[in-house]
Structure 1
Amino acid sequence: MRGEIVIVGGGAGGLELACKLGRKLGPSKVMLVDSRLFHIWKPSLHEVAAGTLDVHQEGLSYQMLAHDNGFTFLYGAMTGLDASEKTIKVGPIATLAGEQVLPERAVSYAQLVVAVGSVSNYFGVPGANEHTISLNATEDAERFRLTLLKLLAVTEHQIADDRPGGLDVVIIGGGATGVELAAELREASWVYASYGFQHLQPGRDVRITLLEGAPRILAPLPERVSAAAHRLLGERGIGVVTDCRVTAIDAGKVTDKEGNTYPADLCVWAAGIRAPEFLSTLGLPVNKGGQIEVDEYLAVRGVAGVYAMGDCAACVDGAGKPVPPRAQAAHQQADFLLDSFARAAAGKAPRGKPYLYRDYGSLVSFGQTTTVGSLMGSLKGLSWFVEGLFARTMYVSLHLLHHRAILGAMRTGVLALARFLIKRSTPLVKLH
């Protein structure tokens, strides 16, 4: 099995690169390898977890996208690399019962792009892996949602029987994921209460606490954005504890360095990410965080024909600072490699300009109606604070821009209209 350009990882950047290259070069030239069958835009996983976004409606089949965009899709996880022979190994696929459906396969390549994203970094905190859920993938978000539904049902019965009840949700990490999940959960809890949980009073019975180790939440963003986010969480009855270093997580509670404990029926880890551990077994140069070291052209240092992009790549910007793990960075890197590969396929000389990250700002969602953030970021030294409906419109447009890159403008418009209509004819939260 062979692909001229093989892209491993169908996240935001990898999928955009596969779609755009496929439309230019065709399925005999471009192959996408992924361990899952469908794609979800990762920044929307907090909505899947809260139940306000249906993963079965939102998910886009890689096989469908391959057919429509002119690339080849190979189902499976990358398990090995032979850089000298320019081949990768793709692991077997088995059913839940252990029956093998697809065998291990070898894929040769001329150019390889590794875009496998990131996983949670637990920083050695005891119990973090065993007693928390991290929103790394769709199955994590679905597990959280189903667990939440069960716990809400238990709480409803406790309150109906006049027994002490209530649900304690602890979110560890006050970055964008943690803040957005907290706000989405609060909004969703009120919706759940209107769908059969008649005795539930969300403001009283669904207690949400956000723990952050830094002096303020959303620490990488401007202080005004952080302050606005803190205010909005407070208005929604969400407890925020800063300067809180978690030292242990047990079934039912979280403990910090001061010895304080926080009841936790459901605990989410959103305190940090790292590159997948298998990358360090491939013989590629990696940093302490497991990221693949790349040069200013996103080429892996010392390994011919291999590139890395997105969260798994240790990339620096024009000022020598690490490029942050954001969807906009992956989008920009996909466009950079698209230009490089397209020029090579057309027999043109490389452009010669290195990759330059541009920060266009950050937006943080607070449910289905409110967003805060800053626009422009470091671009030309400007930073504009935005909040409310305008910011929400900008936030939604980011998702639509991603869909336009992989579906085209017409289908994205139809899909957006269809989702608008579906939301008005179905429950506002997923109940099954």
Structure 2
Amino acid sequence: MMTSKTFRARRLPAHGVESGWAALLPPRTPTPELDRAITVDVVIIGAGFAGLAAAMQLADLDPRLSVAVIDADVVGNGASGRNSGFIIDLPHDISSGNFGVDAVSKSHNEIVVARTAIQHYARLAEENGWDKDVFDRSGKYSVAMTDAGTEHLATYSSKLNSLGEPHQLLGAEEIEEVTGTRSFKSGLFTPGAVMVQPTALVRAIADLFQEPVRLFERTPALSIETSSSGCTVKTPKGEVRAGRVILATNGHAESFGFGSGELLHVFTYASMTEPFDPSTLAGSRKWGATPAAPMGTTVRRINGADGDRILIRSRYTYNPKIEVGAGSIQSASDLHDRKFADRFPDHRHLKMQYRWAGAMALTWNSVPLFGQVEDRIFAACACNGIGATKATAAGIATAELVVGHRSQLGEIFRSFEKPQALPPQPFTDVGARLNLAYREWRAGRE
């Protein structure tokens, strides 16, 4: 006989100030919050990349399934609407370490995971006529500010060659033609990446739901109760009774007791300039570039009706309480201003109009918190810093697991090890902060 268990949320998400992506869009009218008791086949907690993908996949695999998606906030206000808007199809780190047979196999699996996510969004974009302001298969650049960064890109290029992946190395003049600035020494273009307006993307998906899939915003999960008859998710004004629960809350899985001692909670920060006259900066009006060095600075140029803007993302902090204060944003803001001036010296007079932070959940061995974590409860958590691809794919794979569907993606996720336990305190706190500070220092100008 199954023992009843209750998993209570120790805290609710605190996303902080509005992101620039959300500020550029009209305010969202949220779906009604849950104010009664309902019964469904599956309840999904979290309406970010993972939760939305899981809901869409469940509807595709079994249109008869009744599904409730609940989110503590308005769709797009969470971490999925706070990133830089890159959906990247290639591994970040294939230019480091040995590149033997195991590494090639791992890289191929990472590519399958990423491209499954991209294809998921590409199909939705085509079916629903999304324009390129929401989803753009434009490819992306990696850029180098230093000779060491240029060497890193050259090494990365050689590994891409060994994988048979198309790409193009760019010299200083070629990357200047793209970016409009002479600050970059070199670049590397990969055509498979996608650029999105992340808040607009997740909003667009949420707006697609129709019976028997329902979305309830501003409906936090306060507890999950399991018993032999099913699960009950309690909310402030109602409850959801379901046969199965999908936890798509990334780091907040730990708030319910799942992944305790296994998840590292890290925030990254972004700033977006005020609009400027496009004619004052040469180059393409729309591009995105990741740094040549890990933990470096990501840059995007976006264009709108009121002019163009530059987004700068840099700085990573360890925040075990899964929230950030004004001091952390101010410190990151000072860094962003210096990074922006270094890259666009002729535009250093531009002010940053929006500044925000977004949460990530990492594991010691860089694997997701995935699969059945308790009777009737499944997790699609721990994005490991690549949420748009890995969280989306985790949501798809979890939906497949729930209904018993087999796929290459599912086999990859089932092959992952379990998250490793973190070192005991205070070693985790001290080690995480020192590691992030060292890696940022090592990135230097990049």
- TM-score normalised over the length of structure 2: 0.25
Q: Which has the higher contact order (CA 8 A, sep 6+)?
A: 2
